[in-house]
Amino acid sequence: MDFGFTEEQRMVQEMAQNFAEKEIAPFIDEDEKNHHYRREILSKMGELGLLGWSIPEEYGGNGMGWMEGVTALYEIAKVHTSWRLSISGNCWGPAMTINKYGTEEQKAKYIPDLVSGKAVGSFAMTEANSGSDVGAMKTFAEDKGDHWLINGTKMWISGGHVSDIGLLYVATEEGGGPRGLSCFIIDYNNTPGVTRIPIHEKVGMWPAPTSELVFENAVVPKENLLGPLNRGFQICMWQLNNTRMGCAIGAAALSAACLEGSVNYANERIQFGQPIGKFQMIQQQIAEMKLEDEAAKHMVFKAAWLKEQGKPSQQETSMAKLFACNAAVHAANVAMKIYGSYGYSTEYPCGRWLRDAKQFETLEGTSNIHMTIVAGIELGYQPNR
Ligand SMILES: Cc1cc2nc3c(=O)[nH]c(=O)nc-3n(C[C@H](O)[C@H](O)[C@H](O)COP(=O)(O)OP(=O)(O)OC[C@H]3O[C@@H](n4cnc5c(N)ncnc54)[C@H](O)[C@@H]3O)c2cc1C
């Protein structure tokens, strides 16, 4: 087992750190206050190759894989976890899935813009009445001979109203459940019949846009079906096994940010004539954060390593997401206590950490759903894919 970074990973780490410090950190307060999404950050990520992990170079990929991608996302998410969504939303979501299931024409047409940051990507499965129960989705694509006609509404779609290219999962078989779903590539700038509504009322992730997408007789070309008809559920699960890594790393990075902040604060804040870090109860809080932070990081990198080797990784991905999410929520909660009243002030990041940490318990599979995946594989009820 080698726990060290390769030369390439070290280079990527330094580049991502510099990028996040220069392009994201200076705008955090302003973007939080205004719930502002900066399109230009995505473009700059694309220019630096930060959106092209595990994508063939002929489609604009950066020639590097999961280990480097995870390293980069970790550094970016440590500064602000909202920006992890750009890597998931462009690279590990649509680009990687089109690369796996797409035709040569689809790959050549869509992947280069997603990895260069020219296009904003997204993926949409959730509906108002279909979250964990993906197979219950009602948005329907009807085969009209020379095109598909799509009707229905998607909810909670990251990047939905700013997206140029997105994966859309819909039903194509009346009453077919998971066996009647299909996946389409949507070119949002050229699809009539789609209304996109921003969801502003969110607890956290303020600079990351979230949307409702309404499809009313939306006309989609025949050639935009991704993969075989009625195989959308398998495609969706394959995609989630990749994009969930974004949540796992984002949560691990957030837990690291809370720990780093808390250590600095505990060394600076003087009470009873000494830094509060000298008090045993603060030390216990720091020790618990450190233990969870370290374990989360290891689980995330192990899942990435399995993916890099092409080995089954579903259970490890779910474990990493579940554990890192618990670590992030715990660390954010403890950080706010260690910072005392200043933790409750919006001038310090504790409130943002806590708000942003809570998302991980829900999106891309709730904690309960990840428990069922971990247990189901362990009990032999389903294979580890
Ligand atoms: C900020 C944000 C961004 C998002 N981005 C996207 C996106 O880009 N694309 C997208 O498609 N979706 C996105 N989502 C939606 C998200 O993936 C869903 O909200 C999530 O899958 C949970 O679905 P739900 O909210 O309908 O909860 P429900 O499925 O209704 O679950 C409610 C509760 O019941 C529990 N529960 C449900 N089923 C079971 C079960 N079988 N066993 C035990 N407990 C169960 C859940 O754990 C949860 O506690 C996003 C959500 C948020 C908040």
The residue extents of the domains of the chain are: 7-119, 122-230, 233-378
> Is there an atom of ligand 1 within 6 Å of 129 CB?
no
Of 225, 187, 262, 15, nearest to 103 by C-alpha is: 225
Span from the CA of 243 to the centroid of ligand 1 (angstroms) = 15
Specify the ligand 1 atom closest to the Cα of 365.
Answer: 21
Averaged pLDDT for residues 42-49: 97
- pLDDT of amino acid 275: 98
Write the pLDDT tens digit of every residue in 180-210.
999 999 999 999 999 999 999 999 999 999 9
Question: Ligand 1: does its nearest atom lie under 6 Å from the Cβ of 158?
Answer: yes
Kindly tell me if the per-residue pLDDT of 4 is higher than 90.
no
Tell me the per-residue pLDDT of 128-171, one tens digit each, with 9 for 90 and over.
Answer: 999 999 999 999 999 999 999 999 999 999 999 999 999 999 99
Question: Which CATH architecture best describes the domain 233-378?
Answer: Up-down Bundle (1.20)
Task: Say if ligand 1 is within 6 A of residue 210 CB.
Answer: yes
Residue 8 has pLDDT above 80, yes or no: yes
Task: Give the mean pLDDT of 60-64.
Answer: 97
Residue 175 burial by Cβ neighbours in a 10 Å radius (0-12, 13-18, 19+):
exposed
Q: What is the pTM of this model?
A: 0.97
For ligand 1, the distance from its centroid to the CA atom of residue 212, given in whole angstroms, is: 15
How much distance in Å is there from the Cα of 355 to the middle of ligand 1? Answer: 17
User: How many Å lie between the centroid of ligand 1 and the Cα of residue 331?
Assistant: 23
The amino acid occupying position 147 is H
Catalytic residues: 364
- Tell me how far apart the alpha carbons of residues 301 and 296 are, in angstroms, rounded to a whole number: 9
List % helix, strand, coil for the chain (3-state, nearest 5): 60, 15, 25
Q: What's the topology of domain 122-230?
A: Butyryl-CoA Dehydrogenase, subunit A; domain 2 (2.40.110)
Question: Does residue 302 carry a pLDDT above 70?
Answer: yes
Atom of ligand 1 nearest to the CA of 205: 1
**% of the chain beyond a pLDDT of 90:** 99
Ligand 1 atom nearest to CA at 133:
29
366 lines ligand 1 (CB under 6 A): yes
CA 274 to centroid of chain Cα atoms:
41
What is the share, in percent, of the chain residues with pLDDT greater than 70?
100
> Pocket of ligand 1, candidates 86, 139, 156, 368: which has the most ligand atoms within 8 Å of its Cβ, to mutate?
156
- What's the CATH number for 7-119? 1.10.540.10
Q: How far apart are CA 119 and CA 110, in angstroms?
A: 9
- Which pLDDT tens digit goes with each residue over 322-363? 999 999 999 999 999 999 999 999 999 999 999 999 999 999
Q: For ligand 1, atom 44, which residue shows the shortest CA distance? A: 368
Q: How large is the angle between the packed helices 232-268 and 350-359, nearest 10 degrees?
A: 160
In whole angstroms, what is the distance from residue 44 CA to residue 20 CA?
11
Q: Is-contact 266 286, C-beta < 8 A?
A: yes
> Contact at 8 Å (CB) between 315 and 294?
no
> Looking at the DSSP assignment, which residues form a beta bridge with residue 185?
167
Q: What is the pLDDT of residues 10-39, one digit of tens each?
A: 999 999 999 999 999 999 999 999 999 999
Closest to 186 measured CA to CA, from 87, 53, 94 = 94
Measured from the Cα of 129, ligand 1's closest atom is 26
Predicted local confidence at residue 384, as pLDDT: 97
Would you state the pLDDT for residue 1? 67
